[in-house]
Amino acid sequence: MIIGVGIDVAEIDRFAQSLERTPRLADRLFVAAELTLPSGERRGVASLAARFAAKEALAKALGAPTGLRWTDAEVVSAGNGRPSLRVRGTVLERAQELGVRTWHVSLSHDAGIASAVVIAES
């Protein structure tokens, strides 16, 4: 049964400007593993914007409660590139309250916009 659905978009240039204006913002939004590719290279801003959109979409799927920590949700990629979510702390607590057992995630970025959809399922 679907418990919640969230969708979000992020303007990539605007997101990049926010990261430049606030140097520690990336550390507040992402865990270290989200900032780098498996090769060790820094992840591109479009990819980071899509991951930020996923965290926003996740919050919406959980009913947008206050008190969720950005770093309590991590977007991870399987070897084939398929994204999924790893949750802990405040996000895990809320998901457990609602009975979420499975997450579905889709990320995209094109034409200056990053987007994400998150479905929370029991």
Task: Write the pLDDT tens digit of every residue in 54-107.
Answer: 999 999 999 988 899 999 999 998 878 899 999 999 999 999 999 999 999 999
Contacts of 95 (CB under 8 A, 6+ apart): 62, 87, 120
Specify whether the CB–CB gap between 116 and 8 falls below 8 A: yes
Q: How far apart are CA 35 and CA 61, in angstroms?
A: 24
User: Which pLDDT value is given to residue 120?
Assistant: 98
Which stretches does DSSP call E strand in 1-122? 2-11, 73-77, 83-87, 102-110, 113-121
- Which has the closest alpha carbon to 102: 74, 82, 121, 116? 121
Kindly state the average pLDDT of the residues 27-46: 91
Q: Which CATH fold would you assign to the domain 2-121? A: Ribosomal Protein L22; Chain A (3.90.470)
Using the predicted structure, report yes or no on whether residue 39 has a pLDDT greater than 90. no
Token representation of residue 116: 């994400």
SS3 label, residue 90:
helix
pLDDT above 90 (res 52): yes
Average pLDDT of the chain, as a whole number? 95
Q: How far apart are CA 98 and CA 5, in angstroms?
A: 13
pTM: 0.94
Q: Is the pLDDT of residue 26 over 90?
A: yes
